[in-house]
Structure 1
Amino acid sequence: MRIDEIIETSDEPTFSFEFFPPKTDESEVLLHEALETLREMQPSFVSVTYGAGGSSRDRTINVVRNLRVEHGLEAMAHLTCVGATKDEIRTVLSQMRDAGIDNVLALRGDPPGGEEKFSPTPGGFGSSPELTALIAEEFPFAVGGAAYPEPHPDARHDDDDVQTAKAKVEAGAKFLITQIFYDNADYFSFVNRLRDEGIDVPVIPGLMPITSIGQSRGFLKKIGARIPEGYRRELDAREDDPDAIKSLGISYATLQAAELLAQGAPGIHFITMNRSPATRAILSTLRLHRPWERTPEAPAGPQGVAAQA
């Protein structure tokens, strides 16, 4: 089923999970363990990432196919412009269509390892709106796009991320999923600016709880996700207590998601890192308290914490 139809027909917010294709036998075991656990949470859909340079292209298609056939989950394949010509991308899209995939997340993609700047492959696409247009014009998929509440590392000016998201929608994207962020004010501001531009597609927040100091200082720095000062201070105070960091991260993400849903976000897209405990704890709490059925007079979650820091 198409994700845009899932969002449109759902009586409640959508909850979705993001996985990456396993590269080793050990990581494959972790993925299947996470899938077995998270499948019980009945996600609206799941997505599978795509390696730089197409390094995991075949694995992505196989994982998405297995998610549909073996696990009964609606799955979306990520697709990037990196390392492929337009004709090669058409071939990949044909393989996805033949595999029964209905949804594709069209991305520009990060530069291959060792390269600082994105450079189009000769004969390939130079941007995600171009890729989106090809998919929308030539294939039957529901196309999604990425959005950046905080500035993308390659943003040329303050309004660049809004204009790029607008270009994706005009090219055929039916929904947007954001990059990870930790201050809800960034999300609300970004969505308001999109609405001012006449863009009304669903914008699903992408969230990932911080469960280790290494994660916050490594991966999040790499993708440019800003950790609000107050949250950073509390994480640093627990540097020598991994369990306390994990507990704080899950609590913060739960409050963050609750505020987003209470203020009208259409769902939450959990970046799982192929593990289940944190996502399961957060989603279980949200479904128990159902914040989307309440409208608080003033934000009281992580946005407020950040503002006080």
Structure 2
Amino acid sequence: MRICDLIEQKTPFVSLEFYPPKEREQWGSFFEEAEKLKAVAPLFVSVTYGAGGSTQDNTLEIAARLKNQIGYEPLVHLTTVGATEERIAAFLDALTNSGIENILALRGDPPRGCDFAPDNERFQHASDLVTFARERFPGLCVGVAGYPQPHPQSPTVAEDLRWTKFKVEKGADFIVTQLFFDVRQYFDFVERLRSMGITVPVIPGILPIMSLASIRFILSLCGASIPGSFYLELEAADKKGGSEAVREIGMRFAIDQCRRLIDGGAPGVHLYTLNKADACLHIAGELNI
């Protein structure tokens, strides 16, 4: 079913992001974690792949299994990396033949340590994927990314908002945000979009912090920032109680974020699971939605 239709039927909701493993021998444990998360009853689950399209070939098979064997509604990531009209059309044909009706159109990231360079002129931006999907596969529901903190390569906040608006004007049905740690940034982002005439749902992306090492690595990839006082609290907890103490504070912070977002009118929350069921089960249980 189309996610844009599901959102109209149920708010607030929880949705999840899965990062499928590269190696097939790890698929068994991945699907075990995915099965556990059925208790959350997510509105949808997004299925990503590695920088540079490194696990794209697995995406279709995994998404189809999540839908047809477990019963999730997948949101499949699609990037411009390595994109051609023939390749994108074939991929979207295969998706629709599997009963999947939702994509998240992204520019995509190059392999770590490399600069982004478009593979061809036809697909240089996420908006190009949105345009192509709308023209060739009009029945698809199309999501795009949004940045409460501007994209690291955007020169200004206004420029970043302009491109977000452009993606919606090209046909995006909803927005899923990059992770953030200050709920005020989300509400400011939504307010600015609304003032520009953008009315599509904006789903906040939340990352439960599991360890200092993991959050340092993730922040280095996405360019998001963390409030200084919160980071100092995490460092102090790590020194006193190690990773478990950090996890406890991170979970408490994520639950508070989700509550404040939902109470403030967010349509739902999108949890970046890192394929860890326990954390998401705990958060969803605390939210009771």
Structure 1 unpaired stretches of 5+: 291-309
**CA distance in 2 between partners of 1:62 and 1:262 (Å):** 37
Aligned to 1:91: 90
Per the TM alignment, residue 114 of structure 1 is displaced from its structure 2 partner at its CA by 3.2
**CA distance in 2 between partners of 1:193 and 1:92 (Å):** 34
Say yes or no: does 1:283 pair with 2:284: yes
Query: Residue 146 of structure 1: SS of its match in structure 2?
Result: strand
Per the TM alignment, residue 229 of structure 1 is displaced from its structure 2 partner at its CA by 1.0
Aligned to 1:133: 131
Q: Is the 8 A contact 1:30 1:275 kept in 2?
A: no
After TM superposition, list the pairs within 5 Å mapping 1:60-99 onto structure 2: 60-99=59-98
Q: Is the 8 A contact 1:53 1:84 kept in 2?
A: no
Q: Is the 8 A contact 1:54 1:84 kept in 2?
A: no
Summarize deviations over 1:204-230 as a string: whole Å, max 9, x none.
000011110101211222211211011
Say yes or no: does 1:121 pair with 2:119: yes
Query: Residue 265 of structure 2: SS of its match in structure 1?
Result: coil
Summarize deviations over 1:3-44 as a string: whole Å, max 9, x none.
00000111x312111001222356323312211210122111
Query: Residue 280 of structure 2: SS of its match in structure 1?
Result: helix
Summarize deviations over 1:212-252 as a string: whole Å, max 9, x none.
01012112222112110111010010123111100000000
Which deviates further from its counterpart, 275-284 or 25-34? 25-34
Aligned to 2:3: 3
Q: Is the 8 A contact 1:257 1:268 kept in 2?
A: yes
Q: Is the 8 A contact 2:18 2:47 kept in 1?
A: yes
Q: Is the 8 A contact 2:208 2:254 kept in 1?
A: yes
Per the TM alignment, residue 52 of structure 1 is displaced from its structure 2 partner at its CA by 2.8
Larger relative CO (CA 8 A, sep 6+): 1 or 2?
Answer: 2
**CA distance in 2 between partners of 1:155 and 1:214 (Å):** 27
Summarize deviations over 1:104-142 as a string: whole Å, max 9, x none.
0000001233312x2111254111111101101210210
Per the TM alignment, residue 165 of structure 1 is displaced from its structure 2 partner at its CA by 1.1
Return closer, same or farther for 1:158/1:218 CA change in 2, 3 Å cut-off: same
Aligned to 1:204: 203
Q: Is the 8 A contact 2:150 2:160 kept in 1?
A: yes
Which deviates further from its counterpart, 158-167 or 72-81? 158-167
After TM superposition, list the pairs within 5 Å mapping 1:230-249 onto structure 2: 230-240=229-239, 241-249=242-250
RMSD of aligned residue pairs (Cα, Å):
1.4
**CA distance in 2 between partners of 1:283 and 1:258 (Å):** 10
Which deviates further from its counterpart, 202-211 or 18-27? 18-27
**CA distance in 2 between partners of 1:207 and 1:36 (Å):** 21
